[in-house]
């Protein structure tokens, strides 16, 4: 993840104590947001009079609901809290109709029950659909926050449903602006509802063209926002924010058009690589009157692709903005290998499944040491970083160490990142107790996370982050890494330097958002929230929700 603000669960910036080895921690470090990632969005449209598609049968226009569940399964990595879809059918009383609930895609769409799944697909059959998987960066964990959000209206042009992937950094200002009118009310603590209000307002004001709609609302939005919208006239909009913070891929085969947050979802329903393309930052696709149109709605000034997509969130099989996720992770492992001292024959490389596997394999190859799966992941336990609550308990359940592989070994344990350290501490403990390792040396294929994310990842306060209390505003050093390792229970710890990220992504630093590792935010609202987070940390301000947004809202209301 998606805004839906900040993080799930309570967090606070604790008053430093000597027992935490951070008694001098000034709190002026970058504030960190909770990591929970963006959500995922998808869209399907079967256009008429466009020839035939190799991907759907002759009556392919009724297949959107079936294709949607398949698309959402393949972006399930982006959110397991809730899922849903809205479909359109011109010969149905409910011209657009929405099915959504809390749960995984398989649960919400009954994919493990053939009869129920078929009944659902038939009920929501139609030529067009939009869909969403959610992980919460803000808002409650209940069905009312599941997307898509549908707005009913007797006038077809004003009856629409939409889904949103990202996070609006200026959500507090937008919310307060709306609520200055006593005639307006917001029922949820989420930027998704803010977006719905802005869209509704412009449509009611007479903005009928969907590209024009984006041109009007875009200047009001600061942050990451990928949008899919479907209305009761059968019109569709797919739009990507001007910075391209979150990925968005599209494809077309004859009459069949589809879009998804990641390319792997489009590949897995049959589109070929030459049919799949990335929507450009500031670009939108509209389908109106049966015609598909691509157009820029904002002039692009610069890009700010979130690097975390490549190192953690995205499926390793995806290609985002022409950059292979797998190849980026492979290069991260090569960079780690450059930092490694000579090793002995008793050393093995063990990845933390699954996102660290590519980096670990590359590291092992470069060092010429065995790469072994000494940890087996329980795939029925959610991603602790994204899931939000009970992370310590989930971390203990999440992996099973194999003593047959690990006992007596010097282990280079490769992880994609360390955010709060809950999982890593539990994992190292299990490696020693159950795996009977000789030594554990943690290698992180990412620089230290030292600042919050206000663009769709669930990291919103400094206090919840692991690295800031040790770094205290200074650069990373071997001494700091040694102190961190001792806190984790590891024999050593090594991070990648910040300079490695752009190099591994083969992108210019100026086209990447890496604010969470260097504190440089690409938008004005992000910079304001970061300063607020720093001020909160400096003054040891805490709040029950544990989000920088909430502190901002509390301040503006007093």
Kindly list the catalytic residues: 39
Give counts: helices (H), strands (E), the chain: 20, 23
**3-state DSSP assignment of residue 166:** strand
Strand, helix or coil at 136?
coil
What residue has token string 């699954």?
A: 354
Residue 514 structure tokens = 């890496």
Determine the Cα–Cα distance for residues 123 and 217; give it in Å rounded to an integer. Answer: 34
CA angle 507, 511, 512 (to 5 degrees): 85
Q: How many CB atoms lie within 10 A of CB 205?
A: 8
Residues 485, 488, 494, 495, Cα dihedral to 10°:
-130
Alpha helices in 85-244 (DSSP H): 105-108, 114-123, 171-179, 191-204, 210-217
Q: Report how far residue 558's alpha carbon sits from residue 551's, in angstroms, rounded to the nearest whole number.
A: 11
Answer whether 472's CB lies under 8 Å from 22's CB: yes
Among 163, 46, 155, which residue's Cα sits nearest to residue 95? 155
- Cα–Cα separations (whole angstroms), residue 382 to 277, 389, 396, 430: 30, 11, 12, 18
Residue 340 φ/ψ, nearest 5 degrees = -85, 140
Report d(CA 201, CA 155) in Å as an integer: 14
Q: What angle do CA 531, 536, 539 make, to 5 degrees?
A: 125
- For the chain, how long is the longest CA-to-CA vector? 73
């Amino acid at each position: 993840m998606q805004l839906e603000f900040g993080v799930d669960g309570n967090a606070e910036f604790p008053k430093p104590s000597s027992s935490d080895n951070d008694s001098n921690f000034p709190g002026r470090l970058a504030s960190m947001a909770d990591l929970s990632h963006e959500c995922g969005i998808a869209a399907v449209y079967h256009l008429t009079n466009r020839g035939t598609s190799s991907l759907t049968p002759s009556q392919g226009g009724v297949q959107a609901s079936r294709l949607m569940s398949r698309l959402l399964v393949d972006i399930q990595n982006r959110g397991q809290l809730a899922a849903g879809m809205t479909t359109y059918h011109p010969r149905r009383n409910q011209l657009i109709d929405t099915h959504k609930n809390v749960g995984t895609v398989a649960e919400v769409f009954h994919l493990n029950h053939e009869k129920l799944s078929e009944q659902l697909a038939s009920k929501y059959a139609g030529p067009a659909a939009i869909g969403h998987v959610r992980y919460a960066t803000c808002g409650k964990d209940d069905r009312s926050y599941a997307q898509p959000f549908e707005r009913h209206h007797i006038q077809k042009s004003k009856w629409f449903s939409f889904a949103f992937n990202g996070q609006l950094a200026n959500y507090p200002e937008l919310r307060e602006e709306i609520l200055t009118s006593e005639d307006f009310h917001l029922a949820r603590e989420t930027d998704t509802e803010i977006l719905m209000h802005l869209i509704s307002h412009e449509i009611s004001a007479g903005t009928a063209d969907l590209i024009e709609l984006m041109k009007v609302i875009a200047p009001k939005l600061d942050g990451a926002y990928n949008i899919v919208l479907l209305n009761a006239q059968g019109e569709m909009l797919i739009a990507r924010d001007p910075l391209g913070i979150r990925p968005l891929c599209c494809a077309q085969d004859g009459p069949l058009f589809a879009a998804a947050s990641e390319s792997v979802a489009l590949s897995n329903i049959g589109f070929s690589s030459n049919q799949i393309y990335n929507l450009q930052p500031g670009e939108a696709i509209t389908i109106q009157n049966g015609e598909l149109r691509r157009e820029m709605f904002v002039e692009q000034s610069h890009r700010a692709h979130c690097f975390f997509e490549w190192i953690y969130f995205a499926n390793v099989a995806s290609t985002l903005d022409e950059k292979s996720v797998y190849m980026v992770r492979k290069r991260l492992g090569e960079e780690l290998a450059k930092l490694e001292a000579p090793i002995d024959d008793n050393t093995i490389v063990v990845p933390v499944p699954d996102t660290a596997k590519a980096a670990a394999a590359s590291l092992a190859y470069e060092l010429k040491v065995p790469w072994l799966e000494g940890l087996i992941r329980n795939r029925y336990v959610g991603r602790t970083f994204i899931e939000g609550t009970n992370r310590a308990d989930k971390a203990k359940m999440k992996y099973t160490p194999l003593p047959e592989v690990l006992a007596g070994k010097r282990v280079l344990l490769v992880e994609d990142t360390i955010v709060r350290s809950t999982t890593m501490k539990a994992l190292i403990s299990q490696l020693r107790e159950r795996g009977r390792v000789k030594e554990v040396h943690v290698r992180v294929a990412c620089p230290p996370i030292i600042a919050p994310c206000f663009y769709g990842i669930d990291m919103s306060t400094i206090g919840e982050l692991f690295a800031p209390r040790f770094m205290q505003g200074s650069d990373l050093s071997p001494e700091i890494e040694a102190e961190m390792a001792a806190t984790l229970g590891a024999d050593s710890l090594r991070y990648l330097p910040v300079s490695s990220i752009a190099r591994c992504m083969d992108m210019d630093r100026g086209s990447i958002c890496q604010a969470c590792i260097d504190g440089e935010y690409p938008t004005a609202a992000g910079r304001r929230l970061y300063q607020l987070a720093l001020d909160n940390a400096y003054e040891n301000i805490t709040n029950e929700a544990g989000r920088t947004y909430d502190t901002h809202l509390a301040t503006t209301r007093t």
